[in-house]
Amino acid sequence: MLFHSWVFAIFFLVAYPIYLALRRTRLGLLWLLTASYLFYAWANPLYLVLIAYSTLLDYVVVARMTRSGHRKAWLAVSIANGLGLLGFFKYAGFITDNINALLSSLSIPYAAPAPGILLPVGLSFYLFQSVSYAIDVYRGRIERETSLIRHAVFVSFFPRLLAGPIERAGNLLPQLRQTPRLSAEDVTEGLSLFVVGLFKKVALADYLAIYVKQIYDAPGDFQSPALILATFLFGWRIYFDFSGYTDMARGVARMMGIRLMLNFNNPYLATSLGDFWARWHISLSSWFKDYVYIPLGGNRRGAFNTYRNMFLTMVISGLWHGAAWTFVIWGAVHALGRFATRELERTTFYRERIPKLVKQLLIFAFVTFAWIFFEADSIGQAWLIITRIFTSGFADPRCPVLALVLVFGVWLYQFAYESRFRWVLESRGVRFGAVVLMILYLAIFAPASDQAFIYLQF
Amino acid sequence: MVKKESKPKSASAATGGPDVPFGSNCVRLSRREWIAAAIILLAAFCFGPALWERIEKFEPGPDYRLPYASGYDYWLYGRYCRWAHKNSDALVIGDSVVWGHYVDTDGTLSHYLSRDSADLRFANMGVDGAHPAALAGLLRYYGRAVTGRKVVLHLNPLWMTSKKQDLQTEKQFRFNHSRLVPQFFPRIPCYWAPYSKRLSVAIERYLPFFAWTSHLRISYFDSMDLPAWTVEHPYANPLKAVTLVLPEDKRGKQDEIIGRGERAAAPGGMDWVELEGSLQWRFFRDSVKILKARGNTVFVLVGPFNEHRMGAEDLAVYRKIQGGIETWLRQNDVPYFMPPALPAALYVDASHPVAEGYASLAAQLIRNAAFRSAILGRSESAPAD
């Protein structure tokens, strides 16, 4: 069920008043669970089996962990279950393809059959959330959740179920334990978040997608300007798409009195790759920091180990996004970029002499370049795009001026937001005008979009 | 790994929740501001389309018909209905046979009816491709202005010549005006749209605002939404595209007429559906009921179908279907006329006449007693030829 659909509108118009009526009673959580499962089952009722299994297993495992002496073993069960499910549903095809390619290169006449498994929507997100809960209980950072219903709501809370944010138990569970104190401000701010997210998704992301798809579907047919502009717009498209989803998820949750974590913080204003990852998909990057990078040793054992840990974390993060070598390379490219900017930041010249705007543009250019690997169907296609960007001649890119105006408008807004001119954006006229214009634009001009969110496939 | 360099403003502690930042922009309205925004938006949604009618000129001439390019512009159809309600004496409603697929605006049935009835103005309310299921939806949702009028409702038997035309095949296929057909009940077997799409269609047809936005796309953006249009016209100014001049389309599709004589006369095997189980017949009856319930005087014109294309077996089935239609019309006190087939040379295909065919049909109608009584309001006997 997509947030930007009438189906969701009706679902929410039914689920929300019931939630408001029941939230102070013992049935409140049960209703939240029912609504979440209904929301999830809309795409495919079979998905419920997997999420129910995963929820139940982690609930039992964590209970056993706190009661028995084999804490590590029970944690291992939880992690193995999470990774096993992820491996089976997400990476089976990738692994089979690579085994077959290896066998073929060794001239061994055998090919393993393609598993043909459908990846359940949101699997990567709720498994990571569930596993982190088990780890946090193991580390003693949080108390075990004794209520199965509450634990199930924590795993399946519908606004964030499909594509995050990957909430920490330490943030979400305490909110579920108390009766949400819903204020008018929660509703108005939730609505504000939702409208901004809806605009990002429908008016911007889906718009840019038309041009990007046209170019990336046949990169060999286009010259350098079109490929550069399509890559530039893809960077914004994925930002609008994913941060739009997050805004809507946070908005819906906020209207229910639940505060989900900030997941995007104007990432294209980052001045270093480290800064970029502190602003982009914050819930995932902090997850990798806490549960991969630091357990690997973090930056505690010298430069080599620090860079090794960074590299491994980024490559695993890349692979999390998709079962393809292009994602691995994307992660590796980001790791190399992080090494470079980290070293540059140690120099006085870079820190003090290079203007902030130049750093921001450099980081944006680098991130945009890396998106080529993210969006391309294969390494071959990514390479084709890169070579054509640098070697093909000039041809009219036929890129919609309106799309560029909208993108630069948003970028300018973000620059202003992080500058001393923020007061302009905070003025009533600008805020009010922005909301009214966004809604009118959505109602009049935006397509009847049924494009799914990019991150649902992860 | 994660280093916060720019901490956004928190907006939560005041209400007791965890200290989670609101977001990374200033787009947040207070309760009062939301109420003000809601009032403005509600006004735009309610009065925007009506205001637009004052800005955009719409002056249909006597032989006006919905331009071919605007065939899916249901908002314009509704507007035309309101115009016709005021400026016409009778409305001719139907599919492309009424619209005049192969003829110019001055070669349609409504044109000849207006010409031959001397003092009555007939409006061409046909819509290309509007099969009975779509027509019922068109009248139900967009033709509300058609009240208390004299209506000639055309039934094209073509829509019952196969299970596919009758929308009864289980195999999915794209058919015209799917947004007008019932989205849930009764079930249309060949309509496989996902439930989310059906729901959005069902909701949007009760909200005129969305029909109006569709009108903007059809009239000014080549039936595309704005993003798709700007991709096609990357350097054009979308505001300049809104010329406030509606599409014009006076010519029919004469260029589609190929080997007319042969095609019109060639017998073709038909797989008629049973009248009782026919979906299109069911929807046609719905149209009659809708129009009658709105106080209209409904006169039904059946065919004339191109019987020259039929073999003996097909003709026998067709006669049986005609009999069934006739029975129902009689039982429901609906005046009707089932003219005999026109000469073969006056057809382009199975159901569309050429201009002379329409002229001949109009002449037959004007001589028909039921038509004279119901539509022309004359009880005297028909003039001699």
Contacts of A270 in chain B (CB under 8 A): 5
Contacts of B6 in chain A (CB under 8 A): 265-266, 269, 279, 418
What's the rounded Cα separation, in Å, for the pair B333 and A136? 78
Domain boundaries, chain A: 6-180, 185-457
* Closest in B26, B195, B210 to A431, CB measured: B26
What's the rounded Cα separation, in Å, for the pair B155 and A33? 53
Looking at residue B31, what DSSP letter applies?
H
Contacts of B196 in chain A (CB under 8 A): 1-2, 5-7, 450
Looking at residue A4, what DSSP letter applies?
T
Dihedral in degrees, nearest 10, Cα atoms A234, A235, A240, A241? 60
Residue where the block lists tokens 């995932």:
A284
What's the rounded Cα separation, in Å, for the pair B123 and B88? 6
pLDDT, residue A367, reads 97
pLDDT, residue B256, reads 59
DSSP bridge partners of B302: B155
DSSP bridge partners of B151: B91, B298
Is the pLDDT score of A457 beyond 90? no
Residue A6 and residue B16: Cβ atoms within 8 Å?
Answer: no
Residue B44 and residue A426: Cβ atoms within 8 Å?
Answer: no
Pairing type for strands B336-337 and B150-155 reads unpaired
What's the rounded Cα separation, in Å, for the pair A32 and A23? 9
Establish, for the pair of chains A and B, how many residue pairs have beta carbons separated by less than 8 Å.
177
Is the pLDDT score of B14 beyond 60? no
Contacts of A265 in chain B (CB under 8 A): 6, 8, 21, 24
Residue A428 and residue B21: Cβ atoms within 8 Å?
Answer: no
B316 Cβ neighbours under 8 A, 6+ residues apart: none
pLDDT, residue B195, reads 85
How far apart are the CA of A246 and the nearest CA of chain B, in angstroms? 10
What's the rounded Cα separation, in Å, for the pair A232 and A400? 13
3-state helix, strand, coil in chain B (%, to 5): 50, 5, 45
Q: Cβ distance A254 to A232 under 8 Å?
A: no
Q: Specify whether A281 is catalytic.
A: no
What's the rounded Cα separation, in Å, for the pair A385 and A397? 14
pLDDT in tens, B41-96: 999 999 999 999 999 999 898 899 999 999 999 999 999 999 999 999 999 999 99
B23 versus A239: which is more confidently predicted? A239
pLDDT, residue B13, reads 40
Nearest chain B residue to A202 by CA: give it: B227
Q: How far is CA B278 from CA A108, B300, B328, in A?
A: 60, 18, 14
pLDDT in tens, A164-191: 799 999 999 999 998 778 899 999 999 9
Q: Cβ distance A409 to A204 under 8 Å?
A: no
Tell me the average pLDDT of chain B: 88
Is the pLDDT score of A135 beyond 80? yes
How far apart are the CA of A86 and the nearest CA of chain B, in angstroms? 24
Q: How confident is the model at residue B173 (pLDDT cuts 50, 70, 90)?
A: confident
What's the rounded Cα separation, in Å, for the pair A227 and A395? 10
Is the pLDDT score of A376 beyond 60? yes
pTM for this entry: 0.88
What's the rounded Cα separation, in Å, for the pair B250 and A45? 52
Residue A10 and residue B30: Cβ atoms within 8 Å?
Answer: no
Nearest chain B residue to A246 by CA: give it: B23
Nearest chain A residue to B1 by CA: give it: A289
Q: How confident is the model at residue A91 (pLDDT cuts 50, 70, 90)?
A: confident
How far apart are the CA of A189 and the nearest CA of chain B, in angstroms? 6
pLDDT, residue B172, reads 86
What's the rounded Cα separation, in Å, for the pair A138 and B4? 27
CATH of B50-376, one of 3.40.50.150, 3.40.50.1110, 3.40.50.2300, 2.60.120.560: 3.40.50.1110
Among A185, A187, A212, most B C-beta atoms within 10 A, so best to mutate, is A185
Q: Cβ distance A170 to A129 under 8 Å?
A: no
pLDDT in tens, B78-89: 999 999 999 999
Q: How confident is the model at residue B301 (pLDDT cuts 50, 70, 90)?
A: very high
pLDDT, residue A454, reads 58
Is the pLDDT score of B292 beyond 60? yes
Nearest chain A residue to B237 by CA: give it: A402
- Which of A173-182, A397-406, B207-216, B320-329 has the weakest average pLDDT? A173-182
- Range A329-342 average pLDDT: 93
What's the rounded Cα separation, in Å, for the pair B283 and B188? 11
Alpha helix (H) residue ranges in A256-324: 273-279, 282-288, 294-296, 302-321
In this structure, the number of other CB atoms found within 10 A of the CB of residue A97 comes to 17
Q: How far is CA A425 from CA A404, B28, B38, B41, in A?
A: 21, 10, 21, 21
* Closest in B4, B31, B37 to A278, CB measured: B4
pLDDT, residue A112, reads 78
Nearest chain B residue to A2 by CA: give it: B196
ipTM of predicted complex: 0.87
- Range A66-82 average pLDDT: 89
